[in-house]
Structure 1
Amino acid sequence: MGAANDLTRALLDVLRGVPGVRPATPSSRPEATWVPWDLDALAVDINDDLVHIRVVALALPLPPILRRAEAALRSALDESGRTSARLRLVVTDLDASAFSGGNP
């Protein structure tokens, strides 16, 4: 596995620990579990100067959730040596649970 794959895994591990968001993947259906790779990795694009992560919001309000996610992900990027890489979080969807839940 290459450095980009290792960084993708590390970023996904961090993101999974942030309440209120999840990686935006093409399918969250249980039938997709037969796929032999981590579909969540499709939510992460890594270039030399930009890390682009697509997420689905599971809770509201968005600003504090995204700030927590950004801080956690930025820390992981800095630890990986990509201190100058820009981080872009894009909310691609809002899960229905965001309207019935409380603050994460």
Structure 2
Amino acid sequence: MNIEDEMTDRIIAAIDAVDGAHPAVPMGLQNSRWLPWNAGRAAVDLGETVVEIRVVATTLPLPPLLGKLDAAVRPVLAASRWADAVLRVHVVDLHVDAVGSHRDPDHSPGP
């Protein structure tokens, strides 16, 4: 495992520790235990000057959630070569639980 993979795994663990979000994984990979790597790695991009994470929000409002994610990921980056990188958090989807218990009887929340 290289330094990028280790850092990505640590970032994924930090995201998983935040109540209200989880790493955004491409469709079809959510429950794929057959992959030889952590599918959550698709949610993290480590650039030279920018670290981008993609998450699915399970709670609202977003501003406090984004603050929690920043507070969880920043310490992971602090002692690395990405310590000064810009952290971009992309909320790419809202889980049905984020919008409350008001269900539309004409639409299914699943695929």
TM range (shorter): 0.7 to 0.9
- CA distance, structure 2, for counterparts of residue 37 and residue 6 of structure 1: 11
Distance 1:48 1:34, change over 3 A: same
Equivalent residue pairs, number: 100
Written as runs of structure 1 = structure 2, the 5 A alignment for 1:10-49 is 10-27=10-27, 29-30=30-31, 32-49=32-49
Q: Which residue of the partner structure matches residue 66 of structure 1? A: 66
- CA distance, structure 1, for counterparts of residue 14 and residue 100 of structure 2: 25
**Per-residue CA distance 1:6-52 (angstroms, 9 max, x = gap):** 1101111111000101000013653x222222110001000111101
**Greater length-normalized contact order (CA 8 Å, ≥ 6 residues apart):** 1
Could you list the structure 1 runs, at least 4 aligned residues long, displaced by more than 4 angstroms after superposition. Answer: none
- CA distance, structure 2, for counterparts of residue 88 and residue 29 of structure 1: 22
- CA distance, structure 2, for counterparts of residue 52 and residue 81 of structure 1: 15
Distance 1:29 1:2, change over 3 A: closer
- CA distance, structure 2, for counterparts of residue 37 and residue 82 of structure 1: 22
- CA distance, structure 1, for counterparts of residue 16 and residue 79 of structure 2: 18
Q: Share of identical aligned residues, percent?
A: 37
Two-structure CA RMSD over aligned residues (Å): 1.5
Q: Which has the higher helix share?
A: 1
- CA distance, structure 1, for counterparts of residue 30 and residue 53 of structure 2: 20
Paired residue secondary structure (2:33)? helix
